[in-house]
Chain A
Amino acid sequence: MTSAHAEAAASKWRPIAIGGVVILLALFPLAGSAFYVELVAKVMILAIFALSLDLLVGYTGLVSFGHAAFFGIGAYTLGLLSPKYEAANFWVTLPAAMLFAGLAAFVVGLFVVRVKGIYFIMVTLAFAQMFYFVFHDTKFGRGSDGISMNFKPVAAIGSFMPFDLGNASHVYYCVLVLLVAAFAFLQVMLRSSFGRALQGIRSNEHRMRSLGFPVYKYKLASFTLAGALAGLAGYLSALQFGFVNPELLSWHQSGNVLLMLILGGFGSLYGAVVGAFAFVALTEIFQALTRHWQLLLGAAIIVLVIFLPGGIASVAGRFRRTHVGEGNDA
């Protein structure tokens, strides 16, 4: 009961908080230095990536450990479609990246959605590794060095040029708009009957099946959609940095995006965005401290899991509960 009240109170303030964050992000390039504008753009790209995984983990109940595959496919789409001596077109390559990533997710989904729980984790990891080898070992993917793009894509529609992707703050706003669009799309989608059905599957798959829902198709659709959104994030990442390599598909990348979700808390959308910021802040701090920052990151993850089940986001909830007098969470 009390948590329902807290939930209601929180949801009243949530739109205002989200609006405030969007305004702050929109104003940031006016104040921040070039370095931080690029860094925040990178964080927002990761936030789109984390949002796409939240659809699977937080709303469909599918813990994927291979989500980087679709991020990488989106990135490689730009790399492979970019001509050597001229710029690619943004309006062609962006949908293509989402299409190819979505298509790959659909094909992988045909196999992985059939299995559950721990099998799902292992099988998604294995398929992601397969894609890693496709790009790492074949001529098609140009091997372990990847592809470096000579030109940024152009956003020309005929002779009209709405924005310039060679300009870092234009890239920033482009990413911000796409992040807001992805967030809004998921928000609306999750309130539709399709989104409700996904959440039903997450809480009780058997019941949804006996109610006559085609669970397999719903999960496959969710997996495909999440793949396409991850492809969008990968595309933007390739656009920002100007090169792609197989490490974009590595299992570290899949692990890191799961970590973002845990840091921010899954199943809330905004948690994914918070998690992306927390993750980058954490790695930046650790990298500033020591060359062996992965040791600190690893130790931090272990401590986080043991002492804070439910992520950083749960701290606020816990704090509230103890004060209301619900007692501690046993």
Chain B
Amino acid sequence: MHPTSRAWDDADAMDLYTFLIQLLNGVQYGLLLFLVASGLTLIFGIMGIINLAHGSFYMVGAYMAFTLSSLTGNLFVAIIVGIVLSVLLGIVLEWALMSHLYKRDHLEQVLLTYGLILVFEELRSIIVGNDVHGVAVPAILGNSIPLTDTLSYPVYRLFMSGVCLVLAGLLYLLIHRTRVGMMIRAGASNREMVSALGLNINLVYRLVFALGVALAAFAGMIAAPVSSVYPGMGTQVLIICFVVVVIGGIGSIWGALCAALLIGLADTFGKILVPEAAGITVYLLMAAILLWRPEGMFKRVGG
């Protein structure tokens, strides 16, 4: 920590407070990516499905935050309604589409979920249009914490990071400390055996998928006031989340958390240190890690 921060002083490019702000931004972005990537990695690790449409759920979440908060006038109400809707969406999609994919190869999974992206994007264009929209930060969280005379940090971003951390903790407890979590982990290691023991594996899968959809949509909803709402936002997140999952190791929640934070920081600082290569920093990082560990930094840890 010390050598780096002194390097900033020497270069006179960034003082301590700017560094702190960027650090917080990087962590916040990383935690947001974690919410999306954790669903992606769970759905793959447990159900064996590669879901390209996962980014669309993030997009759907952001647009729900926009539409529902303009209808109700309150982002928190919008988020609660949005969570319910996204769980329902997850259940319906699993029942209608995903359940056909469990015994198919990856190529067919890729295609079906690719088709799903086209459907979601086009529906978005029909229902809401192709404009960029902003979502207001709720008044309670609208303040900023002053750091120096000129620099301050918005409370809403801290709130986002806090919520993401709480969710990460709850997810860990759900999977490792509850009966449902036990069923999920069992289902991940042997689907047939779990059914033979009389547990309803289809229900477990449906729950996992709905959980993944809800996490991604929730991430989109809380990100909406910061990132604004625009077409193509889902794909952008999806591809970065693939990088997160590749680095973290498929199926590993802990790996997804570490990798998401790493990517969040690399992206944020990459934009400042090498602005010319801003778009490609995270991919170069992925390439480096692939050379070092082709299976990701973390092997699967119990589901």
CB proximity of B60 to chain A, nearest CB, Å: 14
Give the nearest-CB partner of A63 in chain B: B107
Interface residues as binary, B221-265 with A (CB distance below 8 Å gives 1, 0 otherwise): 000000000000001000100110110001000000000000000
The answer to the question of A221 belonging to the interface, with a C-beta cut-off of 8 Å to chain B, is no
Q: Are B110 and A298 in contact (CB under 8 A)?
A: no
Which stretch of B81-89, B117-125, B141-149, B194-202 is in the interface?
B117-125
CB proximity of A114 to chain B, nearest CB, Å: 4
- Which of A112, A126, A138 has the most chain B CB within a 10 Å cutoff? A126
Q: Are B126 and A255 in contact (CB under 8 A)?
A: no
Contacts of B276 in A (CB 8 A): 138
Q: Are B290 and A114 in contact (CB under 8 A)?
A: yes
Q: Are A292 and B243 in contact (CB under 8 A)?
A: no
Question: What is the bound-complex CA distance between A89 and B115, given in angstroms?
Answer: 40
Q: How many A-B residue pairs have CB under 8 A?
A: 121
Pick the residue among A123, A295, A301 that contacts B123 (CB under 8 A).
A295
The answer to the question of B20 belonging to the interface, with a C-beta cut-off of 8 Å to chain A, is no
Give the nearest-CB partner of A139 in chain B: B276
Contacts of B243 in A (CB 8 A): 122, 126
Q: Are B44 and A118 in contact (CB under 8 A)?
A: yes
Contacts of B286 in A (CB 8 A): 123, 126
Contacts of B239 in A (CB 8 A): 125-126, 129, 251
The answer to the question of A136 belonging to the interface, with a C-beta cut-off of 8 Å to chain B, is yes
The answer to the question of B111 belonging to the interface, with a C-beta cut-off of 8 Å to chain A, is yes
Given the known interface contacts A111-B290, A127-B283, A295-B123, the answer about A302 and B116 at a Cβ–Cβ threshold of 8 Å is yes
In chain A, positions 110-141 with a C-beta closer than 8 Å to chain B are 111-112, 114-115, 117-119, 121-123, 125-127, 129-130, 133-134, 136-138
The answer to the question of A262 belonging to the interface, with a C-beta cut-off of 8 Å to chain B, is yes
Residues of B within 8 A of A (CB): 44, 50, 97, 100, 104, 106-108, 110-112, 114-123, 125-126, 235, 239, 242-243, 245-246, 250, 276, 278-280, 283-284, 286-287, 290-291, 294-295
Q: Are A298 and B290 in contact (CB under 8 A)?
A: no
Give the nearest-CB partner of A137 in chain B: B279
Q: Are A302 and B119 in contact (CB under 8 A)?
A: yes
CB proximity of B212 to chain A, nearest CB, Å: 16
Q: Are B112 and A295 in contact (CB under 8 A)?
A: no
CB proximity of B165 to chain A, nearest CB, Å: 26
Contacts of B114 in A (CB 8 A): 255, 258-259, 301
CB proximity of A34 to chain B, nearest CB, Å: 31
Q: Are B50 and A118 in contact (CB under 8 A)?
A: yes
Contacts of A134 in B (CB 8 A): 279-280
CB proximity of A290 to chain B, nearest CB, Å: 10
Given the known interface contacts A118-B250, A134-B280, A301-B114, the answer about A126 and B126 at a Cβ–Cβ threshold of 8 Å is no
The answer to the question of A305 belonging to the interface, with a C-beta cut-off of 8 Å to chain B, is yes
Contacts of B117 in A (CB 8 A): 298
CB proximity of B128 to chain A, nearest CB, Å: 13
Pick the residue among A133, A294, A309 that contacts B280 (CB under 8 A).
A133
The answer to the question of A313 belonging to the interface, with a C-beta cut-off of 8 Å to chain B, is no
Question: What is the bound-complex CA distance between A305 and B118, given in angstroms?
Answer: 15
Given the known interface contacts A115-B290, A137-B278, A302-B115, the answer about A121 and B106 at a Cβ–Cβ threshold of 8 Å is yes
The answer to the question of A156 belonging to the interface, with a C-beta cut-off of 8 Å to chain B, is no
- Which of A63, A134, A301 has the most chain B CB within a 10 Å cutoff? A301
Interface residues as binary, A78-115 with B (CB distance below 8 Å gives 1, 0 otherwise): 00000000000000000000000000000000011011
Shortest beta-carbon contacts, A-B, top 5: A301-B115, A298-B118, A133-B279, A130-B283, A298-B119
CB proximity of B122 to chain A, nearest CB, Å: 4
Q: Are A298 and B111 in contact (CB under 8 A)?
A: no
The answer to the question of A297 belonging to the interface, with a C-beta cut-off of 8 Å to chain B, is yes
Question: What is the bound-complex CA distance between A57 and B123, given in angstroms?
Answer: 31
Interface residues as binary, A293-319 with B (CB distance below 8 Å gives 1, 0 otherwise): 011011111101110010000000000
Give the nearest-CB partner of B105 in chain A: A63
Pick the residue among A294, A298, A309 that contacts B104 (CB under 8 A).
A309
Contacts of B97 in A (CB 8 A): 302, 306
Q: Are B111 and A258 in contact (CB under 8 A)?
A: yes
Contacts of B108 in A (CB 8 A): 262, 305, 309
CB proximity of B174 to chain A, nearest CB, Å: 24
Q: Are A121 and B110 in contact (CB under 8 A)?
A: yes
Question: What is the bound-complex CA distance between A315 and B276, given in angstroms?
Answer: 50
The answer to the question of A65 belonging to the interface, with a C-beta cut-off of 8 Å to chain B, is yes
Give the nearest-CB partner of A302 in chain B: B115
Give the nearest-CB partner of B242 in chain A: A122
- Which of A115, A134, A301, A305 has the most chain B CB within a 10 Å cutoff? A305
Question: What is the bound-complex CA distance between A280 and B160, given in angstroms?
Answer: 45
CB proximity of A282 to chain B, nearest CB, Å: 12
Q: Are A298 and B122 in contact (CB under 8 A)?
A: yes
CB proximity of B160 to chain A, nearest CB, Å: 25
Q: Are A114 and B119 in contact (CB under 8 A)?
A: no
CB proximity of A95 to chain B, nearest CB, Å: 27
Q: Are B294 and A251 in contact (CB under 8 A)?
A: no
CB proximity of A266 to chain B, nearest CB, Å: 8
- Which of B44, B50, B121 has the most chain A CB within a 10 Å cutoff? B50
CB proximity of B103 to chain A, nearest CB, Å: 10
Question: What is the bound-complex CA distance between A136 and B125, given in angstroms?
Answer: 24
Give the nearest-CB partner of A300 in chain B: B115
Question: What is the bound-complex CA distance between A111 and B110, given in angstroms?
Answer: 21
